[in-house]
Amino acid sequence: MSDFSLESPPADDAPQEYRVLARKYRPTRFADLIGQDAMVQTLGNAIAKDRIAHAFLMTGVRGVGKTSTARLIAKALNCIGPDGRGGPTIDPCGVCEPCKAITEGRFIDVVEMDAASHTGVDDMRDVIDSVRYAAVSGRYKIHIIDEVHMLSKSAFNALLKTLEEPPDHVKFIFATTELNKVPVTVLSRTQRFDLKRIPADLLVSHFAGIAEKEGAGIEEDALRLIAAAAEGSVRDGLSLLDQAIAHGAGEITAEAVRAMLGLSDRGRTRALLAAVLTGDSQAALTELNAQYELGVAPDMAIESLLETVHAITRVQVGAQVDLVMSAEGQEQLGVWANEMSAATLHRFWQLLLKGLEEVKRGTMALQTAEMVLLRLIHAAGMPDPGALMRALEEKTVDVPLVRSEPPLPDATPARASASAPVSGATADDLSVSPAPPEYSPPLEASLSAPAQTAMISGKPVPADYTALVAAVEIDEPMLGAWLYDDAAPVTFAGGELVLTGKRNPGCMASLNAWMTTHFGDRLTARFEDGGDAMTLHQQDEARREAETAAVLADPNVQRVFAAFPDAELTDYTLQDTNSRGDERRTAR
């Protein structure tokens, strides 16, 4: 590990204010920049061969060294060596005036600009005007623009020409965390470097060296916890290390860091998952409410369960274990990984992911989270669908077969798919369903004009009442709803439509006016009270009831109900067997 250089202190001996570790140990040499070896090698070769680009773009997540690298490049290009006669170098001396001035942020030829607060085209005009003049005290005039993606479109456009052909004494260095927001016209004019997240092991060794310099004793497990929580960011990790040193008063243990990071609640998350896996609904709800009273938001509780399920899955496939979790927690994950099947883990993940969305979207977060847990408990006791289907294929479940049912209306007998989904409910009424009542279409359902479309007043007339209602709904949705829900057809022939059902004089007048507009005076409608014909809505309901009864009587569905005594049918798909055999109909 390399030594860490500190920024040069002022000449006087006055006591200095405390500087946080993230500033105190900012890299002042390329040797201090960890985890970016490929970029350092590229820059070193470019400087040695005098192939220095006119514009650089540093991109990466927070805290990986984008701005620090920009300053190091400025030092490398302007360093003159201890004797004042040196040239550009990948290893700036750090003692010459340009190096010290850049480190202290007072070098006149290195201009840093925060694009988050200077977003407009006027700010870019100032930059463009300044590049006309040569460097005052350095070799190059360098413009560092941080968070460059925050510039406006006009500002980018104003900079393009200068960025493409700047004077020889000018270099541009951009830094951004959101590369996708930088126009491609800018990307094509720069040399891009992607700074990677720092690996956890490298962060551990880096933080250990800093802790030693600070005289703080820290356990290796504590360093690993901090490195894992930093998520590849050196600055985030140094901020956590700074906090840990203050928290532990110089002696830092893993338990203290775990408590500082709020990781001790993971034990309660495992307790909650254990209650779900054992089917203890009362214990699961009690634990969820206890966490809620401690300030844990319901969506955070579900997210913690998701993280735990993901960690179990990683252990099951042999991936690296969670560095942040305690040894006890890792042992419990191993037990669950051996006991739970991959299908169960995937089912848990999908249910929790869907539940998290419901909790965040709903108005009653706690109640929704409770229902998510109960749904999860129910799913935990379900067998693997693949094993169930194999058992059905092997006929290991003895269920009496029932006879085939009469044809559904307007179709040949349909057979329900054996994969019809079921969900928990009572089963006494469903274990063996009686044959469904035979469905006979009402008289009015068959009342229609000839198969070919009739022609009245030179315009096509719908062939039957159903087609007429569909045509009306296009122009008059409210009138079409009345015809579907409340009006029943008695006859529809010879240019006359006779309706019965729920009388509505306004709708009848609107219907006759609509038919006059479309078909002239040869198609009329009148209303008769006291008829017992069925509306289209009632006909559709009867048809669906007949279909559902046929599905429940299917032998394959009966086998599923025998395997799941507490179940109810919630959805099914029928395969038509008429001439259009590829058509599928779904009922809910």
pLDDT at 385: 64
The arrangement of secondary structure in 263-380, i.e. its CATH architecture, is Up-down Bundle (1.20)
Chain Cα centroid distance, residue 332: 28
Q: What is the dihedral of CA 219, 225, 230, 232, to 10 degrees?
A: 90
> What per-residue confidence (pLDDT) applies to 16?
66
- In three-state secondary structure terms, 530 is coil
- Range list for CATH 1.20.272.10 in the chain: 263-380
pLDDT, averaged per 10 consecutive residues of the chain (588 residues), comes to 44 66 88 88 91 92 90 92 89 90 90 90 90 89 93 92 91 93 92 91 91 88 86 90 82 81 75 90 91 85 90 87 69 88 88 92 90 88 65 54 39 37 40 42 41 48 85 86 88 85 85 83 80 85 87 84 80 60 39
Can you say whether residue 530 is alpha, beta or left, with left for phi > 0 and alpha for psi between -120 and 50 degrees?
left
Q: Does 443-533 carry CATH code 2.60.40?
A: no
Which part of the chain is CATH 1.10.8.60? 200-260
* CATH number for region 21-194: 3.40.50.300
State the pLDDT at residue 427. Answer: 38
Query: Residue 426's pLDDT is what?
Result: 40
Distance set, CA 302 to CA 46, 169, 247, 376, 536 (Å): 51, 57, 29, 11, 45
φ, ψ (nearest 5 deg) of residue 504: -150, 95
Residue count of the chain: 588
Residue range(s) in the chain whose domain bears CATH number 3.30.70: 443-533
Residue 71 · residue 118 · CB < 8 Å: no
Q: How far is it, in rounded angstroms, from Cα 147 to Cα 305? A: 36
pLDDT at 45: 92
The CB-side HSE value for 38 (13 A sphere, CA atoms) comes to: 6
Query: Hey, what CATH class is 200-260 in?
Result: mainly alpha
Run of H or E residues at 183: none
pLDDT at 145 (0 to 100)? 94
**Are 33 and 68 spatial neighbours (Cβ–Cβ below 8 Å)?**
yes
Pairing verdict, β 251-252 and 217-218? parallel
Residue written as tokens 């004019």? 189
Q: Where in the chain is the domain with CATH 3.40.50.300?
A: 21-194
Rg (CA), the chain: 38
What pLDDT is stored for residue 432 in this prediction? 39
Residue at 459: amino acid letter: K
